[in-house]
Chain A
Amino acid sequence: MPDSKNNDTGLCKEKSFQAFFNTNATLLRNFLYYKYGGIEDIDDIVQDSFIKLWNNCTKVTLETAKSYLFRIAINQSTSLFRHNAVKLKHQKEVKNINHNSTNESPEYILEEKEFMAKLENAISSLPERQREVFLLNRIEKKTYREIAELSGVSVKAIEKLMHKALLKLRIEIENIP
């Protein structure tokens, strides 16, 4: 292992590494979370992937760092994970809006709650690639191109996964009474 602490260019400097960390850590963590679920293991993998990247900072440029980071993380996690349920939270502000609005009946709120439960179940039962792509697009607001770049596949492949994910969610939800 090269002594990267003495290398003062690019990613090795603490400040630039921290900036890189701040822009990418949440995305990587959520990416793994959407894919696999299970918070604790994922946080370890994120940490470890960043340490690995830092220790190898002389071999990586700022441009290649992101895909290198995601590759380390994916390699580490595929061997570790079985399928964990993905648990997502409602956003607080949405709840507040529902409580305060006058034109929504209690029945409506109850129905919405039931629907959200169904939806979360359906999302959990998606195949991991579909879930990862679907949630990156919907929650992280990533474009198909950005998602494609993260996992090194074509935009067309992502579009197909999105389509399949939505189709499967619809079938799942309509089939639950």
Chain B
Amino acid sequence: MSARTAAAPARVARPVSWRRPVNTGLRYALLGVILIFAVFPFVWTLAIALTDKTAGGSIYAFPQSLLPSRVTLHNFVDVYRTFSLGKYLWNSVVITGLTVLGTLLVSALAAYPLARFRFPGRGVIFGLIVLTLVLPGETTFIVNTLTLKNLGLLGTHAGVVLPTIAGAFGIFLMRQAFLAIPAALLEAARLDGASELTILTRIMLPLTRPSLAALGIFTTVTTWNAYFWPMLVLSGAPDKAPLAVAVLKLKGQFNYDPFNIAAGSIIMMLPVLLVFLAAQRLFLRGMEGAVK
């Protein structure tokens, strides 16, 4: 970074010409078109959610429907009351909360010895975890459903959560974080008579808080949005479904009241959007894909 800054004055200046402002303008125009493609569905959904449906307008009256003349929050109240949105919201919170806690706990515990200890079988275990990244998972959901049924967990939140919490992504992310902590620190703690559990909870975890936060945030977003697996596990228990599954039922429920559906969608999107805005650097750094 500093080398690049230092080299800047020596850089050959590009010939100034009429092309420059045209290029910049073109660049922004292109960026704008892609922006519309990316966010138009959200903008429209928000507009519908805020529209006063008693005014009698159609959501399809373009482009007026993008700028509702009478704005209201009534749709949010309406969808919350009539669709018992609170119940599904709570299910989403429980499933996401349990998944995040479980993932952090299991990943950190597994990553610690992989990063810090030498023990027989370490290479094999490491290889097995890497293997999960490339193995084909086409039929996994069938057998897992049967396993959950046998365990009496089909149709429960635990059934949704348990199969998803141990994964290579979390374990490797935490292992990387543990490896970055200087060994001298651990030696000092051991000489002071600290147990391994104390070292993990008092030194390792506080020092790797950024990685724990990152893992927690990625897991939150993935779990909150997950559709297929919770739909499958909870197909016999619709009352336990999270919002991502329930939102599709909104259609039948209200004789397709688009205003309520839009309001429900915004409620579902909002938490994820806030998490993303607060931690966008994390997502835009590409770490998620780098480990996957």
Same assembly = no
